[in-house]
Amino acid sequence: MELSPENNAAADAPYWAWLNKILLDGRPFTLEGRNYQLELMRSKTEDQDALADAMTNVGRQMRDFIREVSRCRPTLGKPVVVGHSQGGMMSYAVAAVNPSGVKAAVPASGWLPRQMWPRKIAPTIALHGTQDLTVPYGRTADFIARAQSAGLPIEFIAITGQGHGLSGELRSKWKSAIDRVMRTGIA
């Protein structure tokens, strides 16, 4: 698929990132003659080193993609990465691998393996349901607590009683966080 302003990826795609008005959905695509294919991450693996490697690769792929989009389609600002579940993991990965390349990240129900805990991260508003059994809340809460104690720019919104699904209060607060970042930034 050739990526152009007239030919964005499908809006109903299961995995996506909104970058400079480009919707990505995990399918291969071409931009300015360069091929891109995001590597899918398996969050339930017990091999945390392999997961961290995969997430780092995704972060690097997105970093390169952001640079290319910024070069060929200049905008008024840096992109904001958002996502739920694997998309949330991707948002964390991009914010950790490319902290100066994005305005902010707004992950929901994602997490970052300990091997990737950064010294720097893009400003982040993270959301997670306390009853999430798919991506356990404790993993995210542990990372956020350590990141905040190290002074990293992360705001955490825990949704009491919410599971993994992007519905109800989690969906509402996620949309509000994205809107806030897009309108005013995080500071």
Segment 175-184 long-range contacts (CB within 8 Å, at least 24 positions apart): 177/106, 177/125, 177/127, 178/80, 178/82, 178/106, 180/125, 181/80, 181/103, 181/104, 181/106, 181/125, 182/80
Q: Is 71 part of any domain?
A: yes
Q: Is 42 part of any domain?
A: yes
pLDDT attached to residue 179: 87
Rounded Cα–Cα distance for residues 118 and 120 (Å): 5
Residue 28 domain boundaries: 17-184
Q: Is 4 part of any domain?
A: no
Q: Is 8 part of any domain?
A: no
Residues of the chain with pLDDT under 50: 1-23
Counted domains in the chain? 1
pLDDT attached to residue 75: 73
Q: Is 64 part of any domain?
A: yes
Percent of the chain, pLDDT > 90?
38
State pLDDT tens for residues 114-158.
Answer: 999 999 999 999 999 999 999 999 999 999 999 999 999 999 999
Q: Is 5 part of any domain?
A: no
What CATH number corresponds to the domain at position 153? 3.40.50.1820
Rounded Cα–Cα distance for residues 171 and 173 (Å): 6
